[in-house]
Each structure stands twice: as structure tokens, then as C-alpha cells.
């Protein structure tokens, strides 16, 4: 997740310088009779622990390769068609690493499709840790990475058990957290371009593009997390925001999905909207009383499974299922 703080919108105006939302008619009544499966936060928690047990998933590490194999096998076991989208990523400092986006497709033959995505890499530097001695250490990334992947794996498990009427593609983006560390004050290039490298690549080389809409998951397991309506999500995909927040209310989680504007953030949904032209929203926490707004463990060595809240995982996962099964 980008180190840039949220940029607040005033009166709907961006302070930056630099779909189809459901069915109607007779189908609306039928929607009320759909049995939405129950999301297991405990199952998602096990996946978070498994990912973190490999160690920080920084590009070039053994943990990165081991976790990639785990994610691939998890989706394959659940009946998805899985492929790696491999490429070389150039970091802000010129270092190049081999990496991959991991793509899992549930019922790829269906043409009515929803895209779910998250990043799976770990930030190489805990540059927001309160202890400067930790700023060059990698982040375990239980919340900022593993949580979104874990929610998607649990959703895939339920799709296998109870088929919805739509196809779903899960994309795990690599190199999202490759952006310039805060301690490197010598960098003078385009800071925003150094983030979200995997989604930038996928947006230029999508494995398919016939999605009704996309939903990005970022840091969806934090303690006390609340999800406000992110600025760019509303700008590019307002109908999807309405759809998801309505689903959260129907699922009983309006206390987690706040019906208020948040801020705008550079994240993986921007290339999907701007390059791939897929209306995509970002489900991302907003802590209005914190300086950086992303929560207390963001880019610190404390982003570990012990600081994950299964109540947050449940709220997000059940909302996604509500969207998928009633769309």
C-alpha cells in the first residue's frame, strides 16, 4: 500500500495535482431468495498464518517463491484454472527482480464475470515503524498483503461448494509495495509510478477484459478497521461503490462499511480503471484520526498474524459473497 496519505475530497472535488450495478425487474425479487454461503474468517486466518510462515514475501526471496506455489496450489485445489503472469519488475532504485501475478479463474467459460484482486507481496522495508532501527527490515505483511489473498481463497472455496450465476477471476498482484521508502530522500522521480508494478503490468496485458467490474482488497484484516468510500473508486466506478456498500448493509456489516467519503489513494485499482478500463473499487481501511490513515501496523514489523481481527475478515468476506451471489 502506497505510503502517500489519503487525499481528502472536499465537495466532491479532487485535491490532487498531478457497470453494471445489479439487476432489476423480476430478477430483483428472486435475489431475495438466494442463499448466500457463510464466510469463514477462521479459514481465512489459517491462510494468513500459512502465508506469513514462509517469511516476508519480498521479490527475490525464497519465501516469495514458496508462497507463490502455495497460492497457486490453493486455487487449483478449489477448482480454479491457474496461471502465472511472469515478468521482470524494475524498482525505483533500478534493481530488477523476477516476479509474477497469479491468476485464478473460476468457471472461465462464463462471460458474465467479476474481478477480485489483491496484492500478495511484502514491503521490503518497514519504513513507517516507530523504531528507526527497523526501517530497513522487511514487513511480514499479514494485513498488507496476506489478508486480501486469504479472503479470496476462502471465497473460492465457497464458490466450489455452491455455484453462483457469475464467473469470478482472482488476481494476486505482485510488487505492489515496491514504492520508494520514506528514508530514501534522494529519490526525485515520479513517486506514484514506483508503486503497484504488478497491476500496472496486468492492466497492459490482461488475461481477459470482459469483466462487469472489479473489487480490490487491501488491508482487509486490521483491528478496528472501517471502510469508507474511497475517492478514486467513486470517481471511476460509483455504481460499484453503491453496489458493494448496499451489499454490506444487506449482509449486516454497515458498521464496517461506512457511508461516508474517505480519501483518494494510489493503489492497484488505478491501473485497472485508467489503463484496462475496468470499473474497479478499492476496499481499504481509513483511520481518520491517524496521521497516515492506514492503521497502526502499516509498514511496520508489527504487521503480523497476531494483529489480525477475524471480525474484519468476516465483514469483508461476507460482503463479497453478498455481491457475488445476489448480483
pLDDT on residue 32: 58
Alpha-carbon gap, residue 110 to 141, rounded angstroms: 34
Mean pLDDT of the chain: 91
Taking only the tens place, the pLDDT of each residue in 143-164 is: 999 999 999 999 999 999 999 9
Q: Which of 120, 149, 114, 170 is nearest to 44 (CA)?
A: 149
As a whole-number percent, the residues of the chain with pLDDT over 90 amount to: 86
Q: Is the pLDDT of residue 11 over 50?
A: no
Alpha-carbon gap, residue 17 to 292, rounded angstroms: 19
pLDDT on residue 189: 86
Going from N- to C-terminal start, the domains of the chain cover: 7-326
Domain spanning 7-326: CATH 3.40.630.10: yes
pLDDT on residue 93: 95
The DSSP secondary-structure symbol of 308 reads: B
Region 95-101: what's the mean pLDDT?
A: 98
Cell numbers placing 39: 464466510
Amino acid at each position: 500500500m502506497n505510503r502517500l496519505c489519503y487525499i481528502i475530497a472536499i465537495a466532491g472535488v479532487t485535491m490532487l495535482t498531478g457497470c453494471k450495478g445489479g439487476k432489476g425487474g423480476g430478477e430483483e425479487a428472486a435475489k431475495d431468495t438466494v442463499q448466500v454461503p457463510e464466510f469463514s474468517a477462521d479459514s481465512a486466518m489459517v491462510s494468513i498464518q500459512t502465508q506469513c510462515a514462509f517469511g516476508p514475501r519480498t521479490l527475490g526471496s525464497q519465501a516469495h517463491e514458496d508462497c507463490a506455489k502455495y497460492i497457486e496450489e490453493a486455487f487449483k485445489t478449489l477448482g480454479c484454472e491457474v496461471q502465472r503472469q511472469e515478468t521482470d519488475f524494475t524498482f525505483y532504485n533500478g534493481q530488477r527482480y523476477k516476479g509474477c501475478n497469479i491468476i485464478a479463474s473460476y468457471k472461465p467459460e462464463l462471460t458474465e464475470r467479476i474481478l477480485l484482486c489483491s496484492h500478495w507481496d511484502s514491503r521490503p522495508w518497514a519504513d513507517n515503524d516507530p523504531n528507526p532501527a527497523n526501517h530497513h527490515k522487511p514487513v511480514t505483511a499479514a494485513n498488507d498483503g496476506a489478508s486480501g489473498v486469504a479472503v479470496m481463497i476462502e471465497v473460492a472455496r465457497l464458490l466450489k461448494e455452491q455455484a453462483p450465476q457469475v464467473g469470478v477471476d482472482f488476481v494476486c498482484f505482485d510488487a505492489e509495495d515496491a514504492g520508494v521508502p520514506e528514508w530514501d530522500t534522494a529519490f526525485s522521480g515520479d513517486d506514484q509510478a514506483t508503486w503497484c508494478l504488478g497491476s500496472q503490468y496486468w492492466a497492459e496485458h490482461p488475461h481477459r477484459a470482459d469483466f462487469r467490474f472489479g473489487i480490490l482488497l487491501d488491508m482487509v484484516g486490521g483491528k478496528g478497521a472501517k471502510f469508507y468510500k474511497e475517492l478514486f473508486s467513486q470517481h471511476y466506478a460509483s455504481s460499484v461503490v453503491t453496489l458493494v456498500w448496499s451489499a454490506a448493509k444487506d449482509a449486516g456489516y454497515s458498521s464496517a462499511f461506512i457511508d461516508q467519503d474517505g480519501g483518494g489513494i494510489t493503489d492497484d485499482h488505478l491501473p485497472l480503471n485508467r489503463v484496462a478500463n475496468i470499473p474497479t473499487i478499492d476496499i481499504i481501511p481509513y483511520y481518520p484520526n491517524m496521521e497516515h490513515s492506514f492503521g497502526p501496523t502499516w509498514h511496520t514489523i508489527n504487521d503480523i498474524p497476531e494483529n489480525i481481527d477475524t471480525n474484519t475478515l468476516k465483514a469483508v468476506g461476507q460482503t463479497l459473497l453478498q455481491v457475488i451471489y445476489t448480483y
